[in-house]
Structure 1
Amino acid sequence: MIVSSLRAFVSTSTDFVGAAHFSAKCDLRLLVAAALTLLMFPLIASADRLVLLSPHWEGIRYEFERAFKAHYQNETGRSVAFDWMDVGGTSETLRYIESEFKNKPKGIGIDIFFGGGYDPYLALKKSQLIEPYKLPASMLDNIPAQLGGVPLYDPDYTWYGATLAGFGIVYNKAVLALTKLPVIQSWEDLASPQVFGWVGSSDPRKSGSVHMVYEIILQAYGWEKGWKIITTLGANVRSFTNSASQIPKDVAIGEIAYGLSIDFYAWAQVKEAGADKIGFVMPENLTIITPDAIALLKGAPNAELAKKFIRFVMSEPGQKLWLLNAKTADGPQKFQLNRFSVLPSLYTLPPQTLAVKLNPFAWQSNFRFDPKLSAERWSIVNDLIGALVIDQKQHLTKAWQDALAKGDGKEQEWRRLTTVPLSEDEALAFAKTKWKNAEFRNQKINEWTHFARSKYLSGVQPPIIRSEWYSLIAFALLSLGLVAYGRKRRI
């Protein structure tokens, strides 16, 4: 049947060569070429497809795609095609998922959300936008339920910590030696006048890892002192970048001396430049190690394949990709990932094979982080930092410089500059009730922007102009205008 179909195909193809008859030799060649083309179609069609939404960088994508393709081929005899989607940082990815599900509540054509910390997964679970999938018991038995009070996977199995992430300060030892800048041991040290202009940070609205640093500061020091540190730290920042990975690179080239960083970005620069030049500190009892998760999205079009991928990521072969040096047996082949594994057993491997020397399961901290609080106020904390610090950076920096020049009066000036327009309870109440209302959110951001601009440009503590007052002012101005217009008409 195939041969007769091919002959029929060839017989209709004479117009393309401008001849009435084919020679037997030409006929045979066309038959073979057409047969090979047709035979390839089933092979192409047999490639299964996996759609992943991920803020992970190229190296992670490459290594997990490469390894899973080989694993899947050996297990099933089939091939798999990866479709990676990247819509920005963690906050942007979360907004994208929520927005897409509003339009398509049954599913958005994406199988897996991979990376971005774990706070977004708590929000997605609450919205029922990720689906439970329980790993086999033999795998779960090897993964601790918690680390330092932070869960490593959801008790309801909607998400799993695929790897772990620590947060700290990357610094350039050579720059410190040349400039006599201090060695930093805490987040508060980055708010010191001594380091003005030498600090680097990315915009937490675009980086989930840097957002976590600011949330850690708020929880470690408390709301009021936390905002004092965030504000003065922000004044010390040379500029806010859009990419968290850029900060350690800027530190490595000496553009800045210190940078807020997630561990693996810092360790990549330590490996490249050398531990004698670049250092990384995780402030004692002032930071955490948290899961960086993976989950099956609601309505995943390739759910069974997605579950296989999740199993692979959480398995020993998948976990070795995070932890081992590049080009070692069972390790990554092209990119060194410099990430923690969630399997304690892997830290017993020969030390020379490990890209990460710190064992997170032996690491100790007295600080207890509240992941529920962090997830609930994620968006409003970002908006506060944006309105009070980043979007008014120029005015903040000038006000900070002026305060430093005041000598004896600077303490009072610092207190004025670092006040915030709402309490922690008020912020949490807004986050829980009204923050998804775009009109209300924009009104508040406008209020905070006015508040910040006023206090940085004036020596007098500004009042907070409530959004409803704007309507009254506008009404009064309109009334005055109408009265003036009526008088003019009468004249």
Structure 2
Amino acid sequence: MIRKILTAALPLLVLLAIPFFLRPKQEAGAKSSGPADKLVIISAHNESIRHEYEQAFRKFYREKTGREIELDFRSPGGSSDIVKYIADRFEAEFRREFESDPANGEWNDEIAGRFAEPGVENDPDAPAEVKKARRLFLNSNVGIGIDLMAGGGTFDMQRHAKRGFAVDGGAQKRHPEYFKPEIIPQSFGGDELYDKQGRYYGVVLSTFGICYNKDRVAELKDPTPPKRWADLGEPRFFNTISLADPSKSGSANKCFEVLIQQCMADSGSPEKGWEEGLNTIKRIFGNARNLTDSAGKIPRDVAAGNAAAGMAIDTYGFTEKEWNELQFDGKPHFFYVAPEGGTAVSADPVQMLRGAPHREAAELFIDFLLSPEGQKLHAFKVGAPGGPEKHALRRPPIRRDLYKPEYRKYRSDPDYNPYESGASFVYRPELTGPYYSLLRILIRCIALDPQPELQRAWKAIIDAGGPEKVPQAMAAFNRLPFPYSEIAAENAKLHGSAVEVAALCRKWSDSARENYLEAERLALEGK
């Protein structure tokens, strides 16, 4: 009877045992008892990067601490959405802290609007209650339940640092050897690669270029592949360009800023370069076939043939090209090129947020990203010693020593060195850096909000024979809300009340729309 019962129960016992036999083996030295430590990261990084980060850092963390770690990635949208989320959360949490002590007085709109304003504590015209709130915030450990922000560009992280949302991650103190000029320089090509006070650290380098689909370009009247930013604004590319919304994608906005800076460098005049750059951007938007909320989607659209060309970050361009080569047996239809005339090199950083709830783990994660192990993860091929597990990230490392000849055979892109490719173009932060947010808003107002009118005007100009055939129409199309000489004054207006800012944006959009309607009418009249 017992034998019959055991025989009948055997299949069930086998099924119950399968999960235990199939579970991964515990690595030597790992401790399985107790709950895992936690690290919360807000980031717009894609799934491939998040996967490789988690797998490699868990091993690194286990070796350093003997404990397990769980990475909790939060992704409320693109980098612009993340920046807004962080600001909103800090306002809510600081208000909670402020109102918990009656001695602080009553919370009001002015405190809400200015507690994170850089330098307000030293402004002689600022109310005493605002200065007090600012000092209270900077001396607090108010947090938003998030340890780190990863990715998004130096502009937003510089702004977080100035506002007090970011704090010193301490890597310079723990690893001064990393920050020698021959390893990680403090600045390159006019852009800071890490904050001297440790409030953000560049992890990888990024450059911006052009991606195109060979088959779609071959269908054009002129099948020459695009080589310069201005090529994307040529009439032959009408209704074939894929773009990202700069008001949602910080990477897209940076790309447009680089385009304007290159026009300034080529023309030798910031005033003329500002005009040429913005009008090039308008023509590119006139050629837009589709708009996305993320710069990472553009290469996929182009590779799929949904667009002929677009702007791309190097890592997305190289990754898509590799995938395209696999699909087409080594004969890709998708290509990524650095624009002629050079492109700016910028850092993609990580920063620790104020009140990080898991400080030790956050510090170790920063150390990991800047270490040789973390840098190899970004640059090496799958399967190479120290390389990624499943996905080649193809992200150029910030560390110069990873470009040494001995690592060449391991790197996914052995011939690519941003420290060399970006040397022909020097980014001048004083020209456009202070107006980065203005640029995002301005492009939305003159190219996105009135895009139907913009595209109709641009098509009418093309149908009339091109800009040279209808100079009056083109002059109307090229009008701008203000010249570069007035940019500081216009930027100051964006720091007014919400009602004032909305009125300014409406003024810019309405004037652009009127210009496009006039340009369309003149083009139809052959003028």
- In the TM superposition, what whole-angstrom CA distance separates every residue of 1:221-268 from its partner, at most 9, and x where no partner exists? 121111110111110111212222221112112222111111111111
Contact 1:163/1:291 (8 A) holds in 2: yes
Partner of 1:234: 285
Q: Which of 410, 414, 422 is equivalent to 2:482?
A: 422
Gaps of 5+ in 1: 1-41, 462-491
Name the residue aligned to 1:483. Answer: none
Unaligned runs of 5+ in 2: 1-30, 95-141, 264-272, 326-330, 522-527
- Structure 2 equivalent of residue 323 of structure 1: 379
* From 333, 341, 358, the counterpart of 1:285: 341
Q: 1:360 aligns with which of 407, 412, 418?
A: 418
Matched, 1:245 2:296: yes
In 1, Cα distance between equivalents of 2:365 and 2:496: 33
Judged with a 3 Å threshold, the aligned counterparts in structure 2 of structure 1 residues 389 and 77 are, in CA distance, closer, same or farther, namely same
Q: Distance in 2 between matches of 1:374 and 1:337?
A: 30
Give the structure 1 partner of residue 389 of structure 2.
333
Contact 1:163-1:293 at 8 Å conserved across structures: yes
Tell me how far apart the structure 2 counterparts of residues 393 and 322 of structure 1 sit (CA, whole Å). 38
Distance change >3 Å, CA 94–CA 436, structure 1 → 2: farther
**Match for residue 392 of structure 1 among 450, 461, 464:** 450
The TM-score with structure 1 as length reference comes to 0.81
Check if 1:204 corresponds to 2:246: yes
Moved more, 370-379 or 243-252: 370-379
Verify the 8 A CA contact 2:461 2:520 in the aligned structure 1.
Answer: no
Aligned-partner Cα distance in 2 for 1:219–1:442: 27
Do the aligned residues in 1 keep the contact of 2:342 with 2:421 (CA within 8 Å)? no
Q: Could you tell me whether the CA contact under 8 Å between 1:120 and 1:375 is conserved in 2?
A: no
Task: Say whether the 8 Å CA contact 1:186–1:283 is kept in structure 2.
Answer: yes
Q: State the Cα distance separating 1:422 from its structure 2 match.
A: 1.9
Would the alpha carbon gap of residues 421 and 94 (structure 1) be closer, same or farther in structure 2, given more than 3 Å must change?
same
Partner of 1:47 in structure 2?
36
Aligned-partner SS, 1:170? strand
Greater Cα offset, 311-320 or 118-127: 118-127
**Aligned equivalents of 1:44 and 1:139: distance in 2?**
34
Counterparts of 1:44-443 in structure 2 under 5 Å?
46-105=35-94, 106-135=142-171, 136-141=175-180, 142-179=183-220, 180-221=222-263, 222-274=273-325, 276-347=332-403, 348-357=405-414, 358-371=416-429, 374-407=432-465, 409-432=469-492, 434-435=494-495, 437-443=497-503
Q: Work out whether residues 109 and 300 of structure 1, in 8 Å CA contact, stay in contact via their aligned partners in 2.
A: yes
Further displaced range: 180-189 or 224-233: 180-189
8 Å CA contact retained: 1:50, 1:306: yes
- Quick one: distance in 2 between partners of 1:437 and 1:218? 28
> What is the rounded CA distance, in whole Å, between the counterparts of 2:376 and 2:477 in structure 1?
48
Cα distance in 2 between the residues matched to 1:459 and 1:66: 56
Are 1:143 and 1:343, in contact at CA under 8 Å, matched by a contact in 2? Answer: yes
Quote the sequence identity (%): 32
Task: Specify the alignment match of 1:445 in structure 2.
Answer: 505
CA drift of 1:367 comes to 2.4
Worse-matched range after superposition: 309-318 or 75-84: 75-84
In 2: Cα distance, 1:126 partner to 1:460 partner: 45
Whether the 8 Å CA contact 1:435–1:441 is kept in 2: the answer is yes
**TM-score calculated relative to the size of structure 2:** 0.76
1 CA distance for matches of 2:82 and 2:486?
26
Matched AA of 1:47 = A
Cα distance, 1:43–1:80 mapped onto 2, change above 3 Å: same
Between the aligned partners of 1:460 and 1:272, the Cα distance in structure 2 is 42
Retained in 2: the 8 A contact 1:169–1:258? yes
Superposition RMSD in Å: 2.2
User: Matched residue of 2:388: which SS?
Assistant: coil
Contact 1:380-1:435 at 8 Å conserved across structures: no
1:411–1:374 distance in 2 versus 1, CA, 3 Å: same
The CA deviation at 1:59 is 1.0
Contact 2:476 2:516 in 1 (8 A): no
Letter in 2 for 1:228: N
